[in-house]
Amino acid sequence: MNKRGKFISRRKILFGLGGLAAVGALATKQLVQAVDNLKKDFQVTGKLSLSQRAAKKGLIYGAASRKIDLSSNPLYAAAIVQNCSLLVPEWEFKWTAGNVRLRPSPNRFDFTAADWMANFAATHNLLLRGHTLVWHESLPPWFQKTVNRQNAEQILENHIHALVKRYAGKIHSWDVVNEIIQPKDGRRDNLRITPWLQLLGPNYIDLAFRLTAAADPKALLVYNEYGLDYDNPEQETKRTAVLKLLERLRAKSVPIHALGIQAHLSPGDNKFNPKKLRQFLHHVAGLGLKILITELDVVDKKLPRDIKVRDRIIAAVYEDYLSTVLEEKAVIAVITWGLSDRYSWLNEFEPRPDRAPVRPLPLDAQMQRKLAWNAIARAFDNAPKR
């Protein structure tokens, strides 16, 4: 049977399997893969947690989390402690996020929530990631009114100095700059047009890394970025631009140690090309940089509603992605953007059109393991040691 014939007959099976029409936009190969994955059972052996499986391969597994959830739900806090060896404060280290105001005014810091997260991590022996120092989002309302070309450098310096010094020695890695490449913004250097760029020019990047290195010489310093995972012209352009930037920073001896790949995966209209992704990772590694998968989750708004079908597709996306990236030994950590579906940012930011609860993470809303958990465990179990 020719390829097309095979595709059509498999698609018939798909539709028979309960509403998979919603994945109509999947590329042919992935659609075929999805059918195969429906037969896959994602079996795992042994009783080890995700972080223990990761550790066996010299990897770190962790998750992002918020004080409001950890402090209000002991079951969730226990799940974090049980599964993770690293914690990322999802709100608490940002200038401002949710109900947290780290920077209530230009001259003030309120470290209450950040300290709480740092204490939680220390108490439970979790590594702690700093996220994030320089980002165009989550800036406080006073920022625009107060910060100008004359005082911007001082304000950035104060921010980094106070925050990074406070937790120096306790931080595994800092996301020094977040989401700074955006080819669509039309600049020759592909830098995203952000308040920081407008206030300080392209050198704000070097400055931020140098200030952070001076304030905490032990932390791994990371540039964190999204939109690098798929095989389409937009992401290809972004990968190329990111590589160019990394090369520039390395050539200038900027103290950057790693690239953070967010990996908010979104099956449904994206083509995954393992070979291209591996090439990209290899290139990054060739620059002497480590790689962290920093915000992994699977956006399920284009997937069928049926939970059994949806969970299998999501698990397959996890396993395909992780087995690909973990082949590259420069990848040292895998971090999911949350652990339980109950607290995923996607509930609010990328809800399903049918309003069914989203299922992007390893544990369900009741803290029970899903196939996604098994898929991550399998990827760790099968990963080469580093």
Pick from 92, 229, 295, 311: which binds ligand 9MR (CB under 6 A)?
Answer: 295
Instruction: Give all strands (DSSP E) within the chain, no chain letters.
Output: 60-65, 86-89, 127-134, 173-178, 220-225, 258-261, 264-265, 290-298, 331-336
Site map (CB under 6 A) of ligand 9MR, residues 172-191, x = contact: ------x-------------
Pairing outcome for strands 60-65 and 331-336: parallel
Contact 216, 168 (CB under 8 A): yes
Torsion of CA 122, 218, 331, 372, to 10 degrees: 20
Contact 210, 161 (CB under 8 A): no
Q: Does 97 bind ligand 9MR (CB under 6 A)?
A: yes
Q: Crossing angle, helix 28-39 and helix 3-16, to 10 degrees? A: 50
Q: Does 234 bind ligand 9MR (CB under 6 A)?
A: no
User: Residue 226 Cβ, how far from ligand 9MR at the closest point, in Å?
Assistant: 6
ω into residue 212 within 30 of 0, thus cis?
no
User: What are the phi and psi torsion angles at 71 (to 5°)?
Assistant: -85, -15
Q: Which residue, 53 or 302, is less far from ligand 9MR as judged by CB?
A: 302
Q: Which residue, 262 or 266, is less far from ligand 9MR as judged by CB?
A: 262
Q: Which residue, 100 or 375, is less far from ligand 9MR as judged by CB?
A: 100
Radius of gyration of the chain (CA): 21
Q: Does 359 bind ligand 9MR (CB under 6 A)?
A: no
Q: Does 18 bind ligand 9MR (CB under 6 A)?
A: no
Cβ neighbours around 323 below 10 Å, total: 16
User: Residue 293 Cβ, how far from ligand 9MR at the closest point, in Å?
Assistant: 13
Q: Which residue, 23 or 228, is less far from ligand 9MR as judged by CB?
A: 228
Region from 78-86, 94-102, 203-211, 275-283 binding ligand 9MR, contact rule CB under 6 A: 94-102
Q: Rounded distance, CA 99 to CA 332, Å?
A: 32
Site map (CB under 6 A) of ligand 9MR, residues 338-357, x = contact: -------x---x--------
Structure-token pair, residue 367: 């803290």
Q: Does 138 bind ligand 9MR (CB under 6 A)?
A: yes
Structure-token pair, residue 56: 């066996």
Q: Does 137 bind ligand 9MR (CB under 6 A)?
A: yes
Q: Which residue, 142 or 345, is less far from ligand 9MR as judged by CB?
A: 345
Region from 15-23, 75-83, 89-97, 155-163 binding ligand 9MR, contact rule CB under 6 A: 89-97
Q: Which residue, 95 or 120, is less far from ligand 9MR as judged by CB?
A: 95
- # binding residues, ligand 9MR (CB under 6 A): 11
Region from 50-58, 72-80, 92-100, 315-323 binding ligand 9MR, contact rule CB under 6 A: 92-100
User: Residue 94 Cβ, how far from ligand 9MR at the closest point, in Å?
Assistant: 5
Contact 277, 324 (CB under 8 A): yes
> Residue 100: helix, strand or coil by DSSP?
strand
Contact 51, 83 (CB under 8 A): yes
Which residue has 């991590």 as its token pair? 121
Region from 1-9, 91-99, 141-149, 196-204 binding ligand 9MR, contact rule CB under 6 A: 91-99
294, with CB counted inside 10 A (0-12, 13-18, 19+), is: buried
Q: Does 292 bind ligand 9MR (CB under 6 A)?
A: no
Instruction: Give the binding site for ligand 9MR (CB under 6 A).
Output: 90, 94, 97-98, 137-138, 178, 262, 295, 345, 349
